[in-house]
């Protein structure tokens, strides 16, 4: 099966790694995601992964702690997920490296762009921990930043919903899913794709985002192969 996208940035939210538990890590989920990624790598895909941390801690949800400090805690949460995912990938014989935006050299490599690209070229998955390394940002923004830096063809945003809707599909039965939508519309209508900083960065750097559901982990393979799933967000509305 030929791949539509050769180099991708996969964004996995912390929530997705928690599975039905809603908190912490579900190792069955880690295993099924890792198996899907293994198939993609076997086909020659180069995969960088940004992991979220919301299954442990979100800085903006905490009103008890100073925001910057809370964000530091959130970034540390992403490292726990990065390490768990690295372990899951190694169990599937996938070569993997974790790089963190905040140095913790006993645990992971520091983020070095050139080295990350070299790993990708050698067929290693690179997991980017600590988001951007800065408070007040999100792992969505980290995804757009890393995607731009590694020159990814697309961001694959695996979520709990199967695409982008005109309104919240959990609240409104009549919600309609887009096949494709522009970043401008996402920003103007406040569609729940990613935060506005991340969306603007993708728009400005012309990085498409495919939003799809992880309810079937093989959707990662389907997405990379170019199957019609989810919603594609691009600068201009695509005709296809
Ligand atoms: N975070 C941060 N800077 C970043 C990325 C993440 O401060 O560049 C912190 C922030 O507190 C955030 C938490 O890490 O709430 C977890 O990331 P995020 O909420 O994006 O995770 P997700 O919702 O995707 O699981």
The finding on whether 139 has its CB within 6 A of some atom of ligand 1 is: yes
Distances (CA, A) of 215 to 20, 33, 194: 11, 10, 19
**Could you count the other beta carbons within 10 Å of the beta carbon of residue 4?**
15
Of the candidates 160, 170, 165, 168, the residue with the CA atom closest to the CA atom of residue 185: 165
Alpha helices for 92-175 (secondary structure H) = 113-121, 139-149
**Could you count the other beta carbons within 10 Å of the beta carbon of residue 60?**
13
The finding on whether 94 has its CB within 6 A of some atom of ligand 1 is: no
Q: Residue 161 is encoded by which pair of tokens?
A: 């919903």
Q: What is the C-alpha separation between 128 and 109, in angstroms, rounded? A: 10
Q: What is the C-alpha separation between 81 and 137, in angstroms, rounded? A: 18
Residue 238 within any structural domain of the chain? no
pLDDT score recorded for residue 153: 98
Residue 1 within any structural domain of the chain? no
Residue 137 within any structural domain of the chain? yes
Rounded to the nearest angstrom, the distance between the alpha carbon of 239 and the centre of ligand 1 is 34
Q: What is the C-alpha separation between 110 and 92, in angstroms, rounded? A: 24
Residue 40 within any structural domain of the chain? yes
Number of compact structural domains in the chain: 1
Burial class (CB in 10 A: 0-12, 13-18, 19+), 219: buried
Q: What is the C-alpha separation between 214 and 18, in angstroms, rounded? A: 12
The finding on whether 180 has its CB within 6 A of some atom of ligand 1 is: no
Shortest-distance Cα residue to atom 21 of ligand 1: 52
Q: Is 138 annotated as a binding residue?
A: yes
The finding on whether 56 has its CB within 6 A of some atom of ligand 1 is: no
Residue 171 within any structural domain of the chain? yes
The residues, any chain, with a CB within 8 Å of residue 196's CB and separated by 6 or more, are 187
CATH code for position 163: 3.40.1160.10
Name the pTM for this structure. 0.96
The finding on whether 142 has its CB within 6 A of some atom of ligand 1 is: yes
pLDDT score recorded for residue 180: 95
Residue 202 within any structural domain of the chain? yes
pLDDT score recorded for residue 236: 73
Count how many Cα atoms sit within 13 Å of the Cα of residue 223 in the half-sphere of its side chain: 32
Rounded to the nearest angstrom, the distance between the alpha carbon of 144 and the centre of ligand 1 is 13
Rounded to the nearest angstrom, the distance between the alpha carbon of 81 and the centre of ligand 1 is 12
Q: Is 19 annotated as a binding residue?
A: no
Residue 2 within any structural domain of the chain? no
Give the range of the structural domain holding residue 108, as residue numbers without chain letter: 7-233
Residue 109 within any structural domain of the chain? yes
Of the candidates 82, 39, 89, 91, the residue with the CA atom closest to the CA atom of residue 223: 39
Could you tell me how far CA 167 lies from the centroid of its own chain? 22
Query: Could you read off the pLDDT tens digit of each residue along the chain, which spans 240 residues?
Result: 689 999 999 999 999 999 998 899 999 999 999 999 999 999 999 999 999 999 999 999 888 999 999 999 999 999 999 999 999 999 999 999 999 999 999 999 999 999 999 999 999 999 999 999 999 999 999 999 999 999 999 999 999 899 999 998 889 999 999 999 999 999 999 998 899 999 999 999 999 999 999 999 999 999 999 999 999 999 875 454
pLDDT score recorded for residue 2: 80
Q: What is the number of the ligand 1 atom nearest to the C-alpha of 55?
A: 25
Q: What is the C-alpha separation between 155 and 74, in angstroms, rounded? A: 22
């Amino acid at each position: 099966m030929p791949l539509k996208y050769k180099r991708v940035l996969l964004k996995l939210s912390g929530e997705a790694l928690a599975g039905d538990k809603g908190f912490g890590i579900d190792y069955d989920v880690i295993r099924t995601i890792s198996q899907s990624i293994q198939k993609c790598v076997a086909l020659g895909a180069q995969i960088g992964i940004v992991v979220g941390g919301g299954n442990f801690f979100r800085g903006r949800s905490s009103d008890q702690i100073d925001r910057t400090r809370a964000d530091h805690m959130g970034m540390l949460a992403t490292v726990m997920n990065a390490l768990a995912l690295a372990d899951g990938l190694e169990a599937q014989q996938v070569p993997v490296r974790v790089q963190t935006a905040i140095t913790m050299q006993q645990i992971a490599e520091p983020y070095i762009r050139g080295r990350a690209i070299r790993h990708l070229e050698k067929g290693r998955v690179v997991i980017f921990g600590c988001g951007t390394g800065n408070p007040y940002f999100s792992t969505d923004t980290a995804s757009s930043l890393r995607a731009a830096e590694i020159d990814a063809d697309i961001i694959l945003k695996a979520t709990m919903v199967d695409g982008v809707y005109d309104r919240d599909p959990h609240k409104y039965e009549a919600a309609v899913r887009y096949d494709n939508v522009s970043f401008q519309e996402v920003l103007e209508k406040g569609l729940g794709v990613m935060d506005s900083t991340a969306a603007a960065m993708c728009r400005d750097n012309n990085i498409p985002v495919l939003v799809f559901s992880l309810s079937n982990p093989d959707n990662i393979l389907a997405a990379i192969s170019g199957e019609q799933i989810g919603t594609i967000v691009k600068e201009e509305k695509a005709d296809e």
